[in-house]
Amino acid sequence: MARAPDKAGGGQDIGRVPPRLDNGGPVGLCAREEIGGPMQSDQAPLMLSVFPTFAVGGAQVRFVRLAAAFGSAWRHAVIAMDGVRECAERLPRDLAVTFPEVSVAKGDVIGNVRRFRALLRALQPDLLVTHNWGSIEWAMANLLPVARHVHIEDGFGPEERARQLPRRVWTRRVVLRRATVVLPSRTLERLARKVWRLPGERVLYLPNGIDLARFTPRAPSPLPAEPVIGTVAVLRAEKNLGRLLRAVAIARARRPVRLEIVGDGPERAELERLAGELGIAEAVTFHGRQAHPAPFYARFDLVALSSDTEQMPMCVLEGMASGLPVVSTDVGDVRAMVAAENAALIVPKDEAALAEAILRVLDDDALRRRISTANRAKAEAEFDERVMIERYRRLFAGEIGHW
């Protein structure tokens, strides 16, 4: 399976995988790889979704939820640029999806664009949906349109967490001018309009939603003797879980607390080492990657986020839906996402500030309860997944947005 050489992690072969394509060779289409039951009707329109990776992440999980909701209304083809398809495990068993194969060569922009355009012409999708910078060469391949194009930008990697890279700004400005560009955060929407200078009619703010029924707030009750701080995250550098570990160590000097981390990733070994070095290893539990993290929120007394960069993190939405206070670094849309009662717990990127916010909410039972109620109410009012699904249904059907 062709992989971009700068990506880590092994892939999963779902169904039948065709022979590997050589760089510069003809583009081939894989046989249909069915995940579960019969294919949708061939009369249904085809959506080609391109991801830098199809590992489990916010954009990938959103796609799964949308595909499940759309059912047989769309046929789907999914391309993972790095060959990783972990999130395919979450697709409904009765939904058939194809995984076309095309070779990807890092740095060979012209060759990649040529191969991607050949595949677009072979597949003739009704809709091309690209995700984030890692799929931008597909936008280039569709500059002379083969398909209607929607580009979804969920956020940036560590290379763009401090500033926008000029080359990427200019590339987005040129190749996304004819696409409908969807941004789930107001921060990204402002960037698209003011920095990328995309036509205003092409920019669409569409916030993520949460399945409220899966996250049930607990009945009000006193805190346990050792309250649980929880976080759900991929353990990557930009999540800066080290900052959270240091904040927990500071908080534990004043009162007993525990930290539970749900997720896995390349930083895990270093984080486990750091927990030991800080003397809090016995108070930190690493649960690893969980296919269904919702039940873990019922164990948490508050949700904490320590990232250097985010836009609209699902961990915050899930915490709000679970009726939990959120303590977070002030990144992306987090401050605007949480209820007004929670705003004082959104702090600078500093472990001491995080620790103080954690202690503030744990030491004030009345505040904790007010925030819990307000966060759940805001999740219900503004982030209901059913609303998100309907907006995407209309967008993909061409009923809203500009083409």
What integer pLDDT is reported at residue 220 of this predicted model? 82
Alpha-carbon distance values, 16 to 35, 305, 398 (Å): 10, 39, 33
Query: Given this chain, do its domains 46-209+384-396 and 212-382 carry the same CATH topology?
Result: yes
Token pair of 396 as six digits: 């993909």
Q: Which of 403, 322, 397 is nearest to 69 (CA)?
A: 397
What integer pLDDT is reported at residue 41 of this predicted model? 56
Token pair of 288 as six digits: 């690893």
Q: Thinking of the domain 212-382, which architecture would CATH place it in? A: 3-Layer(aba) Sandwich (3.40)
Phi, psi of 232 (to 5 degrees): -125, 115
Alpha-carbon distance values, 136 to 101, 112, 193, 220, 399 (Å): 17, 11, 18, 47, 25
Query: Is residue 283's pLDDT more than 90?
Result: yes
What integer pLDDT is reported at residue 59 of this predicted model? 93
The rounded distance, in Å, linking the Cα atoms of 345 and 325 is 8
The rounded distance, in Å, linking the Cα atoms of 228 and 256 is 9
Q: Which of 63, 88, 95 is nearest to 13 (CA)?
A: 88
Domain residue ranges of the chain, discontinuous segments joined by +? 46-209+384-396, 212-382
What integer pLDDT is reported at residue 159 of this predicted model? 76
Share of the chain above pLDDT 70, in %: 88
Residues linked to residue 46 through DSSP beta bridges, in sequence order: 75
Label residue 32 by pLDDT band (50, 70, 90): very low
Label residue 286 by pLDDT band (50, 70, 90): very high
Burial 102-119 (b: 16+ CB within 10 A, else e): bbbeeeeeeebbebbbeb
Contact 173, 196 (CB under 8 A): yes
Tokens 């007010």 locate to 370
Note the pLDDT tens digit of each residue in 213-258. 999 898 888 899 999 999 999 899 999 999 999 999 999 999 999 9
Fold entry, domain 46-209+384-396: Rossmann fold (3.40.50)
Mean pLDDT, the chain, rounded, equals 88
Angle formed at CA 63 by CA 393 and CA 78, multiple of 5 degrees: 110
Of 163 and 379, the structure prediction assigns the larger pLDDT to: 379
Judging by DSSP bridges, how do beta strands 326-329 and 302-305 pair with one another?
parallel
Note the pLDDT tens digit of each residue in 113-172. 999 999 999 999 999 999 999 999 999 999 999 999 999 999 887 777 678 899 999 999
Q: How far is residue 260 CA from its own chain's centroid? A: 20
